[in-house]
Amino acid sequence: GQQVMQIPQYQHVQEGEDFTTYCNSSTTLSNIQWYKQRPGGHPVFLIQLVKSGEVKKQKRLTFQFGEAKKNSSLHITATQTTDVGTYFCAGRGSSNTGKLIFGQGTTLQVKP
């Protein structure tokens, strides 16, 4: 079945350093969404990418969707302690019913 792999599983950075998490799908995706989950919280929608090669920015966050629509990345510039949490990518296949296939997530810790 369709799988979405995400690396790294954990990342510890010093405040001010950059952070990147990568997402790879075993099949071509129709779109990909990114979520952030704080400890004890629920996934909060960040962004959706639909087009091949698409790049979107939200302040210090940059999201990319690969040309083949099988991989994606989230890059955070100059991390802050408020960026702490687990970042999940979630993909939709071209033929599924709308369910999201989540990656395992990358947990970001930021040292002040």
Partner 1 sequence: NAGVMQNPRHLVRRRGQEARLRCSPMKGHSHVYWYRQLPEEGLKFMVYLQKENIIDESGMPKERFSAEFPKEGPSILRIQQVVRGDSAAYFCASSPLGVWEETQYFGPGTRLLVL
Measured from the CB atom, the residue of 4 and 76 that comes closer to partner 1 is 4
Measured from the CB atom, the residue of 17 and 46 that comes closer to partner 1 is 46
Count the alpha carbons within 13 Å of 39 in the hemisphere toward its beta carbon.
6
CB of 88 to partner 1, least distance (A): 6
CB of 49 to partner 1, least distance (A): 11
Residues that bind partner 1 (CB under 8 A): 6, 30-31, 33, 35, 41-45, 48, 50, 88, 90, 92, 96-105
Measured from the CB atom, the residue of 23 and 110 that comes closer to partner 1 is 23
CA-to-CA distance for 1 and 18, rounded, in angstroms?
33
CB of 76 to partner 1, least distance (A): 19
Q: How far, CA to CA in Å, does 60 sit from each of 16, 57, 63? A: 11, 7, 10
- One-letter amino acid at 36 equals K
Sequence-distant (6+) residues with CB within 8 A of 112 are 15, 81
